[in-house]
Each structure stands twice: as structure tokens, then as C-alpha cells.
């Protein structure tokens, strides 16, 4: 029986639930499966070197998180069309000596939003963060029918590159650059930067911009209740934490690594067992 060796590459990943989620579901499926954390802060090596070492050591695949989802691209042999369109990779599968890049973030976010905030207005949504996770979320939102996506990033050039990519795929006018003040008139706000994570505490925008009519989704899941979600909840906003996204993208990654279909419902239940609240609490 194949013994799958999988890793997570990123910075500050000690609190990650990925090992528990993957290994528990793999055991339920009767698979031999080991999931290791490869923290760039501890290894003090760039993501390309870590990927090369994992390939040499016989890993079957890697998940990639901040800050490697775009930095890993030059080190891959192939991108599947969806990952190429997004310009970001969160899953690398080693196949016949080749490193193939995939992205399961977009589908994970779309499915989580549909489960956790059904029926929310999508006429105008503000996206904070144009990095690898932001790119996936942006494509997901426009695929779900968002009328106009307004993108803000502390790096204006990065925001512009994402807007141009989204316009090429979805049409001119569907995506624009914006400042934080666009939140004042938007239907929804999605936060896709590391701010709010345990290692990066704080608020990504001025909380005075939040109002009751706004829905707010955060892709951060450690902690589940980020400062942004706490502030939004206090103002009466409907909110969605990042738990559902992390579980549903993990399920798709596990399928890519093994070729075996996981039980996403069982993984969502396992998340609730681990965290003490549902993956789609809102």
C-alpha cells in the first residue's frame, strides 16, 4: 500500500489544522498518510529550495500557503489551466518526476460562501488583498456572479495586476482598483491578507467603515474570530470565518494527492470537533 507523504509549506504555520484534517480523513479512507509542516521561518530557505528538497525526499505533494502561492510558480514544471488563470498555486502534486501546480482555494472559497452566507447580495464586493489567496477569491467571486469586484491592496501594482487578470477572464468593468473607502457602499467585503492571523494580529481596515448592511467574509481561520470579524459582528454584519474554506480546499487537495474522493461532510464535522464550532458559523 502506498504511504503518502505530504507537506505544508509556508510561514508561521505552526497552528495549522491541515495535518489533523488530512490525516484523520485519510485514516477514514484506509490510506497510509503522513502530513508534515515545512515552515519557511524555521527552515530559513526559499520556497523553491523547499520544493526541490521535498521532491528529492519522495514527497507525493505539497500544500502551499502564505507567502509562497505565487513565489512557487517559477519552480513548477506544469500548471493546470485553473491555476494558470489564477496565477497562484496552493497544491503541488509530484507526478512522474514533475511538479504540477493546482489551486483548490477558489472552489473552496466559493463552496464555503454558498454554505455559510447563502443569498447575500453580490452586486458590488470589495476584496482586500491581491496576493495568491486574493487572486483565488477574486476569480471565485466573479464566477459566482459578482457584478463588480473592487480590489484593494497595500501594493497598488499587485492590485492592478490582479484587476487586469480578472478583466481578461471576466470582461472589462467587472473588476476595478479601489481604496478602503469603497467598503462604505459595497454589499460585501472579503478579506484575503494575513492580517488577523495569530502571527499577524490587527485590523486590515478602519472599523468605522463597517456598517450593518455589509456582509464580511475572512479567509483567516486561526483564530476563527479575527479582529475584523469581531468588529463586523459588533456592528450587526453577517460574517463568515475562514474555517469552511480551509476544510473544503483541503478535501480537494487530498483528492488530488491520492486519487481517492474524500467525504467533505465528514471533514467539516471533524473541523467542528477540533474547533468547537461549525466550519460555517456566521
206 C-beta neighbours (distance < 10 Å), count = 11
Q: Which residues have a Cβ under 8 Å from the Cβ of 175 and sit 6 or more positions away?
A: 138, 142, 148, 149, 150, 151, 162, 163, 166, 167
Rounded to an integer, the average pLDDT of 8-20 is 93
Q: In the prediction, which pLDDT does 276 show?
A: 83
Q: Whole-model pTM? A: 0.90
Q: Within a 10 A sphere around the Cβ of 48, how many other Cβ atoms?
A: 15
The fraction of the chain above a pLDDT of 90, given in percent, is: 90
Task: Pinpoint the alpha helices (H) of the chain.
Answer: 18-28, 40-43, 47-56, 81-86, 105-116, 132-143, 156-170, 227-234, 243-258, 264-275
282 pLDDT exceeds 60? no
Residue 92, pLDDT above cutoff 60: yes
- The residues annotated as belonging to the active site are 69
Mean pLDDT of the region 46-51: 97
Mean pLDDT of the chain: 95
More confident residue, 223 or 182: 182
Residue 10 is predicted with a pLDDT of 95
What are 63's three cell numbers?
500544500
Mean pLDDT of 114-132: 96
Per-residue model confidence (pLDDT) at position 281? 61
Q: Using one digit for the tens of pLDDT, what is the confidence trace for 70-88? A: 999 999 999 999 999 999 9
Amino acid at each position: 500500500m502506498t504511504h503518502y507523504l505530504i507537506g505544508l509549506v509556508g510561514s508561521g504555520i505552526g497552528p495549522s489544522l491541515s495535518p489533523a484534517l488530512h490525516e484523520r480523513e485519510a485514516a477514514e479512507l484506509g490510506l497510509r498518510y503522513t502530513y508534515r509542516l515545512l515552515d519557511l521561518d524555521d527552515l530559513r530557505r526559499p520556497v523553491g529550495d523547499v520544493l526541490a528538497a521535498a521532491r528529492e525526499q519522495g514527497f507525493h505533494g505539497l500544500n502551499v500557503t502564505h507567502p509562497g502561492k505565487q513565489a512557487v510558480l517559477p519552480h513548477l514544471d506544469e500548471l493546470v489551466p485553473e491555476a494558470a488563470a489564477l496565477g497562484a498555486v496552493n497544491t503541488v502534486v509530484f507526478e512522474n518526476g514533475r511538479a504540477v501546480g493546482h489551486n483548490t482555494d477558489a472552489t473552496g472559497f466559493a463552496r464555503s460562501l454558498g454554505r455559510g452566507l447563502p443569498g447575500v447580495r453580490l452586486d458590488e464586493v470589495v476584496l482586500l488583498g491581491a496576493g495568491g489567496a486574493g487572486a483565488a477569491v477574486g476569480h471565485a467571486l466573479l464566477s459566482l456572479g459578482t457584478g463588480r469586484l473592487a480590489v484593494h491592496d497595500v501594493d497598488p501594482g499587485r492590485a492592478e495586476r490582479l484587476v487586469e487578470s480578472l478583466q481578461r477572464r471576466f470582461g472589462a468593468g467587472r473588476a476595478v482598483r479601489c481604496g478602503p473607502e469603497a467598503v462604505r457602499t459595497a454589499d460585501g467585503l472579503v478579506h484575503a491578507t494575513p492580517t488577523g492571523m495569530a502571527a499577524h494580529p490587527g485590523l486590515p481596515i478602519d472599523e468605522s467603515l463597517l456598517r450593518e448592511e455589509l456582509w464580511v467574509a475572512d479567509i483567516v481561520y486561526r483564530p476563527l474570530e479575527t479582529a475584523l470579524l469581531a468588529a463586523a459582528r459588533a456592528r450587526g454584519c453577517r460574517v463568515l470565518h475562514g474555517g469552511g474554506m480551509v476544510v473544503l480546499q483541503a478535501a480537494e487537495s487530498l483528492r488530488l494527492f491520492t486519487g481517492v474522493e474524500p467525504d467533505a461532510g465528514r471533514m467539516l464535522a471533524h473541523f467542528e470537533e477540533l474547533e468547537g464550532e461549525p466550519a460555517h458559523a456566521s
